[in-house]
Homo-oligomer: A and B are copies of this chain.
Amino acid sequence: MATAAIIGTAGYTGQETLDRVLAHPGLELLALGSDTLAGKPAAAMDPRLNGHLPAFVTNAEAAAAGAGVVFLCVGHEAAAAFVPPAGAVVVDLSGAHRLRDAALAERWYGLAPGAWSYGLPEISPPEGRLIANPGCHATAALLALWPLRDAIDGPVVVDSKTGMTGAGRALKESSHAGAVLENLTPYAVTGHRHTPEIEQTLGRRVTFVPHLLPVRRGLLATCYARVDGDARALVETAYAGSEVVRVLPEGVIPELARVQGTDAAEVGVFADENTGTTIVICALDNLGKGAAGQAVQNANIALGFEETAGLRLQGVLV
């Protein structure tokens, strides 16, 4: 058993992390941090949270509570300023510690370069206690393209589509229901922070365009590249033993419905013989494998638990 604290519980990633901690056989919830809810009972956030949970404390109090693992669910500025408690495993769900290149970290986040371990378990399992949890678009793009990295020849395009929870819970015009419902909006067309994150791990340039979907959850990245060799075999081999990444049989196309509410990912591989292009499609839940699920997966590795403890891998059939 280990104890867990959540910093920034009231946001989407904080709530999703709380869900998984409560379902985790090896984690005991020690502290719920939220500067806006401090002093209130857990049920103040949601009437489903019963009296057995600790009341909210400030984020500083939660950090100091002595938990064995701290989930950092705040914005990147606050995450950059966070001082890790001695001895604790800390998983940062923000982008603060992801980019290792000084110029890129400065340009995209206005921060010093990240020194934490970039934990994408299927690709780069976390090492040590301080773990930078990958971004949602980056996770999907990397799960799709990483197995092909040495076989790609030429430009790489990642056309990604995410549900609106990917834009967070803060009130802003682009998250107002009037901007989202019945709409589709590309955003940050040539300037999204996940571009350097994908490139850093993939080792090559990518053209990446994210789009905001009128759905609550789920992210699907359609990736295009020319590949020398058998792309399907490379992808199947990469995830052969994985309980988290499901490579679909030939002809079966990933979609959001099968991954929403889960910490799993689906990958489909397609050969466009007309142009010689390989299309790899990855679907995942932006709050699951794209955030809180992966954070718990990383924590499991760092704490020595079974890698999938507390994760939701199946989802509902309807």
Taking beta carbons and an 8 Å cutoff, which residues of A are in contact with B? 12, 15-16, 18-19, 22, 45-49, 154-155, 157, 159, 161, 164-165, 169, 171-173, 175-187, 189-190, 195, 205-207, 209, 211, 213-218, 220, 222, 224, 226, 246, 248-249, 252-258, 260-261, 266, 268, 270-275, 277, 279, 281, 287, 314-318
Contact = CB atoms under 8 A, between A and B. Distances in A.
A286 B103 CA distance: 43
User: How many of these chains are in the complex?
Assistant: 4
Nearest to A317: B15
27 contacts: A12-B318, A15-B317, A16-B316, A16-B317, A48-B246, A48-B258, A161-B184, A165-B178, A165-B318, A171-B171, A171-B172, A175-B178, A177-B179, A182-B215, A182-B216, A182-B256, A183-B215, A184-B213, A184-B215, A184-B218, A185-B257, A186-B220, A186-B255, A189-B281, A190-B271, A209-B222, A224-B224
B47 A248 contact: yes
A215 B185 CA distance: 12
Given A177-B164, A275-B155, A287-B318, A255 B184 contact: yes
A165 B318 CA distance: 9
Contacts of A46: 258, 317
Contacts of A48: 246, 258, 314-315, 317
Given A178-B165, A178-B175, A316-B19, A47 B252 contact: yes
Contacts of A18: 317
Contacts of A165: 178, 318
